[in-house]
Amino acid sequence: MKIRQLRHLRRHVEVSQSAPDHGKEKTTTIKTETHEVIVVARRSNQLIRMWCEECGIEVDMLNPEEAAAIAQVSTRTIYRWIEAGQIHHVETQECLLVCPKQLLR
């Protein structure tokens, strides 16, 4: 599994100056907007697309290791969140899957 994070940063700078004889200082306002895209590359190109009951939508589910990498926490933390009911998950006969929608909030 390979996780790649792509960030796009856009800055908008506003500068306003007052006349030098009024003794006021120059004011600069910087607004920053960041967009982030996370790419999960799996060895098998097979997506695990399932219905998330809590979200009410179909999503590409993640295994706990992928979820931990995206949330930038340990795998144990993912299991704790699942046990506490803090993130949506589905248990199948083969594996435990996590809904990615709540990982980035």
The model's pTM: 0.60
pLDDT tens profile 48-96: 888 888 889 998 899 999 899 888 899 999 999 999 999 999 998 888 9
Closest to 69 (Cα-Cα) out of 89, 41, 90, 30: 41
Task: Report residue 82: phi and psi, to 5°.
Answer: -65, -45
